Amino acid sequence: MNLPLTMKHIAAEGPDGAKSGAPEILKLVVGPVPQPKPDEVLIRVQAVGVNRPDVLQRLGQYPVPPGASQIIGLEAAGEVVATGAAVTAYKVGDKVCALTNGGAYAEYVAAPEAQTLPWPVGYDALRAAALPETYFTVWANLFMAGKLKAGESVLIHGGSSGIGVTAIQLAKEIGATVYVTAGSDEKNAACVKLGATAGINYRDADFAEEIKSLTDGRGVNVVLDMVGAPYATRNIRSLAMDGRLVLIAFLQGSRVENFDLLPIMVKRLIVTGSTMRPRTTAQKGEIAAELRAKVWPVLSAGRAGPVIHKVFPLAEAAAAHALMESSTHIGKIMLKVAD
């Protein structure tokens, strides 16, 4: 296959050469098509998912790992158009989605073979591109680290986010009871429709008190939190004996003052957390293998799939970021790149 030498992609190019700032600095430009390394596939991108880390990178708050593309974007779906010398699982023409190390806001992206998965049965590019970042994150944190299992309960903050709707569905799929927080009654109603037992409007209620009431004082087994510092004490209060607090982001800060550690000892709690991007390819490959074995059959059966809120053309990445920052969406925000 004869590949072009150049491609369109989104770059952060503000006034006076600024590389970080408001959504408006995101511009469609022309640059070179990446060349796949021996362990990578080159994907002709059809669709891209927009995620919170993309916004942080645009703001200059999410450093790019050494050797990764400077182009924003952590997940994409499309067609394999070239393979590195060491690739064995995929061939030219295969339809795949990938957790990329960067570079997804583009017509072509290179991704490690180990971080690449086939489209689930019945999926198109948009639905496939909505999977990697959220499903890798939720599986690694809620199930591998948080060890949520059937018969347990979980409180998911940001229930209407891309991460939230994924966590709700996968937790429900394994037989857990799900509670969520969200910022409006509409968002909470959407979460209940997806499988949550109850939604708590954090603007109107103390979620720790609500969880105490909903669980007859026991608390939940796992809390999945992306808010951070303001929720720390209430997260601990919300956990049952031997509970697990899993931190995946700090949207409202990471520093906690006057934090009492005693309840962690008294209730034998585990506090853990992680980021995805700095993990090695091997570590991400382990997550991908678990997803393929345990989650992809569920998706192919038509359950626990992504919820897509709105789709923008690639050239309107700035508008997609503005929507993300508004926090008015329910589910995933996507960019369409090609048919």
307-331 per-position pLDDT tens digit: 999 999 999 999 999 999 999 999 9
The number of folded domains in the chain is 2
* Residue 187: pLDDT over 80: yes
Does a structural domain hold residue 93?
Answer: yes
Does a structural domain hold residue 290?
Answer: yes
- Cα 123 from chain centre: 18
CATH number of the domain to which 126 belongs: 3.90.180.10
60-77 per-position pLDDT tens digit: 999 899 999 999 999 999
Tell me if 200 sits within 8 A of 180, measured CB to CB: yes
For residue 170 the two structure tokens come to 């996968």
254-301 per-position pLDDT tens digit: 999 999 999 999 999 999 999 999 999 999 999 999 999 999 999 999
For residue 192 the two structure tokens come to 């209940």
pLDDT at position 19, please? 81
If one counts every other C-beta atom within 10 angstroms of the C-beta of residue 319, the result is 17
Average pLDDT for 171-186: 98
Q: Among 273, 301, 328, where does a domain finish? A: 273
Q: Among 238, 273, 308, where does a domain finish? A: 273
* Residue 50: pLDDT over 90: yes
Same domain, 256 and 298: no
Q: Among 273, 304, 327, where does a domain finish? A: 273
Does a structural domain hold residue 1?
Answer: no
Phi, psi at 81, each rounded to 5°: -115, -10
Q: What is the pTM of this model?
A: 0.96
Same domain, 127 and 164: no
Average pLDDT for 13-25: 86
CATH number of the domain to which 215 belongs: 3.40.50.720
Same domain, 284 and 332: yes
Is 180 strand, coil or helix?
strand
User: Which domain, by its residues, includes 105?
Assistant: 6-131+277-336
Q: Which stretches of the chain are assigned E, i.e. beta strand?
A: 6-12, 26-32, 40-50, 75-83, 95-99, 108-112, 116-118, 153-156, 177-182, 198-201, 220-225, 239-247, 270-273, 308-313, 332-336
123-138 per-position pLDDT tens digit: 999 999 999 999 999 9
